[in-house]
Amino acid sequence: MDKTKMIVVYGSLRKGAYNFDRFVDIFGEDSIEYKETKVITGFKLYSLGPYPGIKQSNNESDKLVVDILHVTNEVYDAIYNMEIGAGYEALSIKDGVIYLYKYPINEENLVKSGDWLKRVTK
């Protein structure tokens, strides 16, 4: 399939996490291509309970571990609808589209490591 969209994921859509696996099961293995895991700056990661949320930060020392995925238009649309429906908003960055949580977040729930898969809150 033609993978035309790039998304930047940091939580349940990271490779090996439950939503990544769920989307592969629904849309097929060739619908999502994992490109790389990297660290980006300028975002704070928070626990919202079973899933994370991020906020933009003006501090370049705030690091976020993300996976870059190439996805089909069909998968992109499904992820977009899931994220928007859960209170997130899309932001285009250099590596693709990332989803910011648009509601207030308790600072006590900061995930200092910036890595949801290895999370430990404050």
| Range of the structural domain that residue 52 is part of | 5-107
Q: Which helix (H) or strand (E) holds 36?
A: strand 32-41
Averaged pLDDT for residues 80-99: 96
Strands (E), 24-72: 32-41, 43-47, 52-56, 63-71
CATH number for 40 = 3.10.490.10
Centroid of chain to Cα 109: 17
**Residues 110, 113, 116, CA angle at the centre, nearest 5°?**
75
- The answer to whether residue 121 is domain-embedded is no
Domain membership flag for residue 116: no
Assign 117 a pLDDT band (cuts: 50, 70, 90).
very high
Query: Which tokens sit at 38?
Result: 């990297």
Interval 88-100 mean pLDDT: 97
pTM: 0.93
